[in-house]
Chain A
């Protein structure tokens, strides 16, 4: 937990924050509307004797206080997918529409990819990229079980993503849910912070800047890019946004989020970021009793 003490100056209620970080999280499933309806999935889970609680802000999510998501008939039919509650946020902020061209820049293992496909009603083009072959095989098994047919999977470094196989045309929207130091997953993986180092945070921030830059370049003017992490470190959040606001044609936009959150921070240690980063949202574990998360919505301006 020591690594978290650096966030005391920016977290609204630091005691509540620390105590939430120590509580485990219940498993959550998302209903896959490509293959069933929310109502039928609920009936299938109840018939399997699985207790479920609704999630107020998202009708397609259920908390399973007593069970794991994988060992039941609704899972077998691809009606449900285990996904941490807060990780369902960025796809809803991106809000892709049926028929659009959408890029999931760091897609594996595919929870968000399959959620994007469902939001697109499985129509249009959804390009899912990851540089790790092993994780791509997990993504493939998820897209298959969930019955996704509008996905095209590429194995490459997102920083060098090529539009060539897809006719060279820019995307309408891109999701950039980058690899990060994962501090916000501590409730699921209590060991997360054991390997923490500032060097790692700073190193991975460089990669994040590269991926977000490529996504902005590959998205059409007036198109939307959503940037998200499951970490608290401003170096990986506002710091990355500050960088692309300076180097790429984009701006940060306001958006609604039906959850409790704090605005992005403008000042961190001895740095001051572009004031637009205030439009990003920080979700702390004590706000909604979830994992921690960071999300920002960008509009491409050229």
Chain B
């Protein structure tokens, strides 16, 4: 087995049989996660390659390059793995979340504003606990805002600090 090298991008192996770095997720497992958790068809990602840089940080890139790639960024930061519960990024949920049909929680405008401001809030939710796609209505349809963690009757905002906004005073 090889080691994970933290500063460069290594393409994810297609399957377990091709894996040569301990703990590195496979492309198959990534596609299965999005399909099982959010109902997103693996075909959505057919043109994408997935890469690990840093421990468990997965990036999605349209197209392909020879692995490894030692540059600053490759595509979009996509999800965190190598922990008990895998977690999509805000960017991935905004870009691919419109295709999700399960584990999606829809908020009214006031709750959406609190979520975007980074607040945790008590909310009714009949579905699974864990990471959810959080949506609200804008310009005639639902649109994902980011990722929420639902536990113990509470939706915890996972919006990164730099992307929080407070629109409540407007």
- Chain A interfacial positions (CB closer than 8 Å to B): 34-36, 40-41, 43-44, 47, 71-74, 76-78, 122-125, 136, 140-141, 143-145, 147-155, 165-167
Contact = CB atoms under 8 A, between A and B. Distances in A.
Contacts of A71: 165, 167
A77 B94 contact: yes
Nearest to A130: B72
Contacts of B143: 77
A145 B63 CA distance: 20
B122 to A, nearest CB: 23
Nearest to B109: A73
Given A44-B139, A151-B75, A165 B70 contact: yes
Nearest to A127: B71
Contacts of B1: none
A165 B163 CA distance: 31
Contacts of B162: 141
B17 interface: no
Interface string B76-119: 11000000000000010011000000000000000000001000
B73 interface: yes
Interface string B128-165: 00000000001111010100000000000000001101
A77 B145 contact: yes
Contacts of B94: 35, 77-78, 147
Nearest to A144: B91
B46 interface: no
Nearest to B48: A149
B14 interface: no
A155 B91 contact: no
Contact of A154 (B47, B72, B75, B139): B72
B140 A150 contact: no
Given A44-B139, A77-B143, A147-B95, A152 B73 contact: yes
A11 to B, nearest CB: 40
A167 B141 CA distance: 42
A152 B61 contact: yes
A143 B62 contact: no
Given A77-B94, A77-B145, A167-B66, A43 B76 contact: no
B51 to A, nearest CB: 11
A154 B71 contact: yes
Contact of B71 (A34, A149, A165, A167): A165
Given A74-B139, A143-B73, A152-B65, 20 more contacts: A40-B139, A41-B139, A76-B116, A76-B145, A76-B163, A123-B63, A140-B72, A143-B76, A144-B77, A148-B75, A149-B48, A149-B60, A152-B69, A152-B71, A152-B74, A153-B74, A154-B71, A154-B72, A165-B65, A167-B66
Contacts of A165: 65, 69-71
23 contacts: A35-B94, A35-B95, A71-B167, A73-B167, A74-B138, A77-B143, A125-B63, A125-B65, A136-B72, A147-B91, A147-B94, A149-B48, A149-B60, A149-B62, A149-B76, A150-B61, A150-B62, A150-B63, A152-B61, A153-B71, A165-B70, A165-B71, A167-B65
By CB atoms of chain A within 10 A, which of B65, B95, B165 has the most?
B95
A124 B63 contact: yes
A43 B140 contact: yes
B10 to A, nearest CB: 13
